[in-house]
Structure 1
Amino acid sequence: MRHSLLAGGKRIRPVLALATCEALGRDPAELMPAAAAIELVHTYSLIHDDLPAMDDDDLRRGRPTCHKLFGEDTAILAGDALFAEAVRLVAERQPGGDATRVGILLEISRATGVGGMVGGQYLDLSDAGSASAAALRRVHALKTGRLMACAVHCALVLARPAPDVDAALRLFARELGLLFQIVDDILDVEGSEEELGKAVGADAARGKVTYVSVHGLEGARRRAEEAHARALAALATMPGPAEDLVGIADLTFARQH
């Protein structure tokens, strides 16, 4: 569990949760347990994604994947345990009372289950994204976007902002998740293994449907630009300071790893 959890990475999901909390006028420390729980869930998903039955990857964050080092059986259990620890962390440590804790656990379960990350992974393995551009977007909205959006939604559960602010941040979260996936697909073609910490060209080698395979490299870049612009436009309506959220969108758009 520690091998995968402490291997580095961008920590974009917990940072996004804390930045959203701050933009809503709350102390980010209030959301730290939920933010950490989201990173535990994300790490569990990476361990399982890397398994031979899934993507069969040997490298993650520049280190051997969990199953390569400890075996498939231990990797499966490590992922399972990380998810359980995420639930425990919110249940035991999250401030805000029972309603907040239950609300955050509901967001995490929605984001990870059949209507979220697990459902998206199944559709991806089933090659459902090859049906159309809309189908591809749905696959990744579930597989990648839902957990990204969960980071924002957890802050909304805690802060309970006005409906217009809530809607703006939900739109921002959706566009950020889309942007992250498009850039990920571009980097799988253009990135370097040294910077990414994992093999490049893996999607093409497996024949996976991606934004690049569907729209071409230039088309994927245009869609990334459009998603970035829509994310920033959503933040423009925020009544409070949103500089950190703007920075996350900009870094996601410009990232090289």
Structure 2
Amino acid sequence: MSPSALVAAPVLTAAVLLAACTGGGSSPPSSSTPTSVTTTVPSTTTTVAPVTDALRTLSTAVATRDVEALASAETVTRPGSPASDYLKYQSAVLSVIGDQPSGRVEPAGPGSFRVCDVSGSTTTCRVLSDPGFGPDGLLEDFAIDGISVDGRVTSDGPEVATSDVRMQAVAALQTVPAGDLVVVVAVRNLRGTAILVNAFAAVYRSPTGDRVEVRSTAGDDRVDPGGETRMLVVVPNSPVGGILEVPGTSAEFDEPFLVRVPVAPSP
């Protein structure tokens, strides 16, 4: 990583993971495949996951800070739903900032779970509740501290290219309660020379027309020829659905470029 990169992983951990259940704490309860309930009616047998099991599976996966657990939990969510996008967001963040200590999960009332992190003498908790399900019985939506993730999270944005530099918003979330926008951007360098991505100088054009400067970033800013990397940027108090304008240059500083990355799902 070059000296120009602004890396604040300890700060980003508190601001990003879980939005925001972050950092240490004891290991959460062991996770297993959600149990199923079989309901029999005349000539029909339907197997569905209990309501609490789907949200428990998601909450436990988030607390583990483990990419494999997060991927496994996607089986209880409807593909393309806010709940599925949220799990992809968590995995994307971990792909940039690396392994993190596990949190803990505990019941927080009927159908809700408290996910907590302990860092020194400080404990930070968020309550995941209000699960919403599709007609197929898969989890579509839930709330963090009473605020639905629907409309606040996205994944799998379109890949865009400028001057043989390709970028994609892998996942993004407007955090709760701060309202900051966290975006994980994938970068591919198709050039024959190295590039420097100046994510710390990026600007976000919100869907309401506001121009917001990036507050902080993490990740490698140098990408070798034919290489790939991921970067994380934090934009203050902004919703998803805008355009992240990411500048950069060749390693020799003689070929600048600007990539406009939609922070929205692919059409």
TM-score range, shorter chain: under 0.3
More strand by share: 2
Q: Max radius of gyration: which structure?
A: 2
More helix by share: 1
The alignment's TM-score, normalised by the length of structure 2, stands at 0.26
The alignment's TM-score, normalised by the length of structure 1, stands at 0.27
Higher RCO, 1 vs 2 (CA within 8 Å, ≥6 residues apart):
1
